[in-house]
Structure 1
Amino acid sequence: MKMTSIKMKNILEERLKNPDWNISFNRDKDVFRVEWKETKQGISITIPNVIAKYEQRGEDALQDLEYHVVEALQIMNQTHELTGKEKNIFPVIRATSFPTKTKSKKKLIYSDHTAETRIYYALDLGKTYKLIDEEMLHKEGWTIERLREISTFNVRSLTSEPRKDPVAGNDFYFMASQDGYDASRILNESLLEEMKANSTGELAVAVPHQDVLIFADIQNDMGYDILAQMTMKFFAEGRVPITSLPFIYEDKKLEPIFILAKNKPTKNNQPKGEE
């Protein structure tokens, strides 16, 4: 018998019972929400996505979902300090369309990066991380400059061992360590300069989603087409998509480019996005 949204809603309600949580279901949008009664902080879950995973993986999919929801809600309800945890602070790359406030209206700390991307800052909690907001920063008496310096130093300390894959006379390098900060490595300037120094042609860089960083040593026009297709594929499949546009790295700058099939790329001169 086919799983319906109402059936899945009932299953999730049973699995996520907690006297301290409110559970609601938006029938029009097919969205199931669990939140703390006191703070109203919580998680929204798209029911059709859960059904799709359930049909693929069965009970395992529901166990995974329950674990991640409970873990995330517990983290939301804890007080987190930055002082003493400096080694656990990292930058994370997000699209410019990513929210600048939490659902509870707290302003997130971010810096401009490119026309397509922004830099947010995260406190690593082991199995997950919490994005740093203004309230956390002010409570500690920290400046955004200090946050930026610490996080940039930490991202440089991450291992960077790309896998090389030659395709049609071009060299592609993939970083996918699955530590949550693969895309963040684009902020490691020494890594970018090293890749540039070792490239034969033009160096392109892509961060289609959070868990991959792609370098491309483009040596012929076909390389641009391959990079465009590859970036779009990763973007569509990513758990946290960032941008389907690659960048050309030149003069220590990242310029977003549109790649037209069978043509050289054109630079994207759009202004920096703001919420």
Structure 2
Amino acid sequence: MKMTSLQMRDILQNRLQRAEWHTSFNREKDTLRVEHIETKKGITISLPGVIAKWQQKKDDAIDEVVYYVEEALRAMHMNSTEWKENKVFPVIRSTSFPLQNEKGVDFVVEEHTAETRIYYVLDLGKTYRLLDKDFLQEVGVEEKHVKEIAAFNVRSLPVKEKRDEVAGNIYYFFRANDGYDASRILDESLLESYRTKVEGDMVVAVPHQDVLIIADIRNDMGYDIIAQMTMQFFSNGLVPITSLSFLYEEKELEPIFVLGKNRPKKG
């Protein structure tokens, strides 16, 4: 069965009907806009992207989009009374991710690597809100303090690892499904603890928000495997970050490209 944009529009409009929300379809851009009637804050959904996921996951893909829109709109209308320091965390995003919200207000960010950037969020349970400078002013908190408490909070997250061995190389997968799996790349103590047990080259990857991979690359084939693995995760992730991996040396992350077979090249 082939799904058209108009059919997907109708399905989503039906699922996202709320008295306080308005939906509008942009035929030229093939997008569906969902926004709050009073504040005009909202979410723009790319219909071709949803259809592509629907072809793989069917109704689960639609459920994911509806959930994302509901929680994102809730986060947008959060007020300062929900501020709690123990709920502030860093998240990793691609460098192509916007630096400002829809109102043109700067997000709170910090540079990370050539491929990734750090943003900061307030956890709201089922979702989180990206922190911007206007909101920090509203709650009376300095940017430096937000970054300090976020770094502390990410180190307090539980670590759940799954180990796999392929062609003599060891791969560790971290998937706690708490929204901060990729954020664990910022926990230097975690990375250093694996550095002591890695026998070959230590390679780290954050292909999407919900996974961190640490690899012990002991032979040339290991580079091909991590490259294929990272690309697959990147393609299937709800919030993709980067399809590149990073060589971890002397507490530094260096993007690497795998050229053809086996041999990596630093970015």
Query: What is the TM-score normalised by the length of structure 2?
Result: 0.91
Deviation at 1:158, TM superposition (A): 0.7
Cα pair 1:82 1:140 within 8 Å, conserved: no
User: Amino acid of the residue matched to residue 40 of structure 2?
Assistant: K
Q: Which sits farther off after the overlay, 197-206 or 17-26?
A: 17-26
Equivalence map 1:184-263=2 (5 Å): 184-263=183-262
Equivalent residue of 2:120, what SS? strand
1:35/1:221 Cα in 2 relative to 1: closer, same or farther (>3 Å)? same
User: What is the CA–CA distance in structure 2 between the aligned matches of 1:133 and 1:163, rounded to whole Å?
Assistant: 35
Q: 1:169 to 1:69 in 2, by over 3 A?
A: same
Query: 1:16-50: per-residue Cα shift (whole Å, max 9, x none)?
Result: 33443332111122211111233221011222344
Q: Work out whether residues 203 and 245 of structure 2, in 8 Å CA contact, stay in contact via their aligned partners in 1.
A: yes
What is the CA–CA distance in structure 2 between the aligned matches of 1:140 and 1:52, rounded to whole Å?
40
Contact 1:247 1:254 in 2 (8 A): yes
User: Which shows bigger deviation, 222-231 or 141-150?
Assistant: 141-150
What RMSD in Å do the two structures reach over aligned CA positions?
A: 2.1
Which is further off, 33-42 or 15-24? Answer: 15-24
Distance 1:14 1:169, change over 3 A: closer
C-alpha distance in structure 2 between counterparts of 1:4 and 1:18, whole Å: 24
Contact conserved, 1:174 with 1:214, CA < 8 A, in 2?
Answer: yes
d(CA) in 2 for partners of 1:142, 1:220: 48
Letter in 2 for 1:246: S
The equivalences for 1:70-219 within 5 A come to 70-81=70-81, 83=83, 85-219=84-218
SS in 2 for 1:174: strand
**Equivalent-residue separation in structure 1 for 2:55 and 2:170 (angstroms):** 38
Cα distance per residue 1:34-70 (max 9 Å; x no partner): 1123322101122234445556666665555444423
Opposite residue 124 of structure 2, the aligned amino acid is L
Query: Matched residues in 2 for 1:209 and 1:76: separation?
Result: 23
Q: Distance in 2 between matches of 1:31 and 1:139?
A: 32
CA drift at 1:258: 1.2
Relative to structure 1, the CA distance from residue 11 to residue 257 in structure 2 (aligned partners, 3 Å threshold; closer, same or farther) is closer
State the alpha-carbon separation in 2 of the partners of residues 129 and 94 from structure 1.
Answer: 14
Deviation at 1:14, TM superposition (A): 3.7
Aligned residues of 1:9 and 1:32 also touching (Cα < 8 A): yes
Give the Cα–Cα distance (whole angstroms) in 2 for the partners of residues 242 and 81 of structure 1: 31
Q: Is residue 43 of structure 2 the alignment partner of residue 43 of structure 1?
A: yes
Task: Go from structure 1 to structure 2 and tell me whether the alpha carbon gap of 1:28 and 1:178 turns closer, same or farther (over 3 Å shift).
Answer: same
Q: Report the CA distance shift for 1:15/1:167 in structure 2 as closer, same or farther (over 3 A).
A: closer
Conserved? CA contact 1:209–1:234, under 8 Å: yes
8 Å CA contact retained: 2:80, 2:139:
no
Tell whether 2:17 aligns with 1:17.
yes
Structure 1 pair 82–100 and aligned structure 2 pair: CA distance change class (3 A): farther
Q: What displacement does 1:191 show? A: 0.5
Q: Which amino acid aligns with 1:42?
A: G
TM-score, normalised with respect to structure 1: 0.89
CA–CA separation in structure 1 for the residues paired with 2:13 and 2:219: 55
Comparing 205-214 with 64-73, greater Cα deviation is found at 64-73
User: For residues 95-114 of structure 1, what are the alpha-carbon distances to aligned partners after superposition, in whole Å with 9 as ceiling and x for unaligned?
Assistant: 11110011122210000111
In 1: Cα distance, 2:245 partner to 2:223 partner: 10
Q: 1:81 to 1:266 in 2, by over 3 A?
A: farther
Query: Is contact 2:90-2:119 (8 Å) kept?
Result: yes
Deviation, 1:235, is 0.9
Report which stretch shifted further, 74-83 or 148-157: 74-83
CA contact under 8 A between 1:165 and 1:173: conserved in structure 2?
A: yes
Q: Residue type of the partner of 2:187?
A: N
**Is contact 1:31-1:44 (8 Å) kept?**
yes
Residues of 2 paired with 1:95 and 1:73: CA distance? 22
Kindly tell me: are residues 62 and 257 of structure 1, through their superposed partners in 2, closer, same or farther at Cα, counting changes over 3 Å? closer
Give 1:271's aligned residue. Answer: none
Task: Look up the equivalent residue of 2:184 and give its one-letter code.
Answer: R
